[in-house]
């Protein structure tokens, strides 16, 4: 969380004495269609995330990862189940403006493609300032100062804050998307394949940035990815999804190093390695 002027930033350690999870998902289910045409996208999954923690959701395309993220953020309404964030029930989408703002202060999302999620006609600084003004009512020098702080937090320079999205690289645009999400000072940040469109060197930079922000600010992450190396680097715990169900969950190292479910083992063994050839499995 970004600290207000004159106060100390919240750190991950500040939640050390907290026992209840910051995010609790219980029996979450999502179906599309009706009758014979009904398709189950997410089938009764449950998991928890503690304050300052980082949870990975792993699975191949169609496993229900992104549908889960969309339900957490309120873009999809669950068919059944419950979503609690910091004690607030977010199971149903917010209808009123004040409820939408309150939800935005709890949970935000960073999408895979920042270019399509940013207004191409809006300068970066104005984009960040719009969020800060909406949630905190700042203006003038206070608003400009908070925008500069957000830029510094994600490694954006003044000239980049004055730029349009098309004038930035892919990695810089993703930094903007992260800053915009953090501008609301959420408790939880969902990252849906947030580095998969970047080349490996830029991926490493963004992952290191996210690790630093988590350590400094205490924000909790839900990191959705099909890339096991990314999940290993950025998360503490992980759940593995297949056909909308959780087939395995636990500490990330345990899940990836000693998988108990055959599907998790298949995912791990399908990762390219030294001597790997297309069409082979380790």
pLDDT value of position 213:
94
For residue 30 the two structure tokens come to 């999502």
- Of residues 277 and 267, more confidence is placed in 267
Q: Can you tell me the mean pLDDT for 104-131?
A: 93
Using a 10 angstrom Cβ sphere, with 0-12 exposed, 13-18 middle and 19 or more buried, the burial of residue 176 is: buried
CA distance 78 to 155: 37
The answer, yes or no, to whether residue 262 has pLDDT greater than 60, is yes
Segment 207-219, tens digit of pLDDT: 999 999 999 999 9
Q: Can you tell me the mean pLDDT for 107-133?
A: 93
3-state SS, residue 40 = strand
Those residues with Cβ within 8 angstroms of residue 10's Cβ, 6 or more apart along the chain or in another chain: 1, 3, 217, 218
pLDDT value of position 270:
82
The answer, yes or no, to whether residue 281 has pLDDT greater than 60, is no
In the chain, the percentage of residues whose pLDDT exceeds 70 is: 90
pLDDT value of position 280:
41
- Of residues 279 and 122, more confidence is placed in 122
pLDDT value of position 94:
81
pLDDT value of position 117:
86
Name the residue with tokens 């999205």: 165
Instruction: Name all contacts of 243-246 with Cβ < 8 Å and 24+ positions apart.
Output: 243/40, 243/43, 243/62, 243/63, 243/64, 244/30, 244/40, 244/41, 244/42, 244/43, 244/45, 244/63, 244/64, 244/67, 245/43, 245/44, 245/45, 245/64, 246/45, 246/46, 246/47
Q: Give the pLDDT band of residue 6 (cuts 50, 70, 90).
A: very low
Bridge-based pairing state of the strands 80-85 and 88-89: antiparallel
Using a 10 angstrom Cβ sphere, with 0-12 exposed, 13-18 middle and 19 or more buried, the burial of residue 57 is: buried
Query: Would you list the domain boundaries of the chain?
Result: 109-185
Segment 38-82, tens digit of pLDDT: 999 999 999 999 999 999 999 999 999 999 999 999 999 999 999
Q: Give the pLDDT band of residue 9 (cuts 50, 70, 90).
A: very low
Q: Can you tell me the mean pLDDT for 232-238?
A: 96
Quote the longest CA-to-CA distance of the chain: 60
CA distance 125 to 85: 29
Q: Give the pLDDT band of residue 272 (cuts 50, 70, 90).
A: low
- Of residues 55 and 16, more confidence is placed in 55
Q: Give the pLDDT band of residue 200 (cuts 50, 70, 90).
A: confident
* pLDDT, the chain, mean: 89
């Amino acid at each position: 969380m970004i600290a207000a002027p004159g106060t100390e930033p919240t750190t991950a350690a500040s939640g050390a004495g907290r026992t209840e999870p910051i995010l609790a998902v219980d029996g979450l289910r999502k179906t599309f269609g009706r009758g014979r045409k009904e398709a189950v996208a997410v089938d009764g999954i449950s998991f928890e995330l503690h304050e300052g923690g980082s949870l990975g959701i792993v699975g191949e395309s169609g496993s229900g990862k992104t549908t889960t993220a969309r339900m957490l953020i309120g873009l999809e309404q669950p068919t059944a189940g419950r979503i609690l964030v910091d004690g607030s029930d977010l199971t149903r989408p917010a209808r009123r403006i004040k409820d939408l703002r309150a939800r935005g202060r709890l949970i935000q999302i960073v999408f895979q493609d920042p270019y399509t999620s940013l207004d191409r006609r809006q300068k970066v600084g104005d984009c960040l300032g719009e969020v800060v003004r909406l949630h905190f009512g700042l203006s003038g020098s206070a608003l400009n100062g908070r925008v500069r702080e957000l830029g510094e937090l994600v490694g954006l320079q003044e000239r980049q804050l004055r730029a349009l999205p098309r004038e930035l690289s892919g990695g810089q645009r993703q930094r903007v998307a992260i800053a915009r999400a953090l501008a609301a000072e959420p408790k939880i940040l969902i990252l849906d394949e947030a580095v998969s469109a970047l080349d490996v060197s830029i991926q490493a930079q963004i992952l290191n940035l996210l690790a630093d922000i988590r350590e400094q600010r205490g924000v909790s992450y839900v990191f959705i990815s099909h890339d096991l190396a990314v999940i290993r680097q950025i998360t503490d715990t992980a759940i593995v999804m297949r056909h909308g169900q959780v087939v395995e969950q636990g500490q990330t190292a345990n899940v990836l190093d000693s998988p108990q479910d055959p599907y998790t083992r298949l995912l791990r063994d399908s990762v390219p390695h030294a001597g790997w050839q297309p069409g082979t499995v380790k």
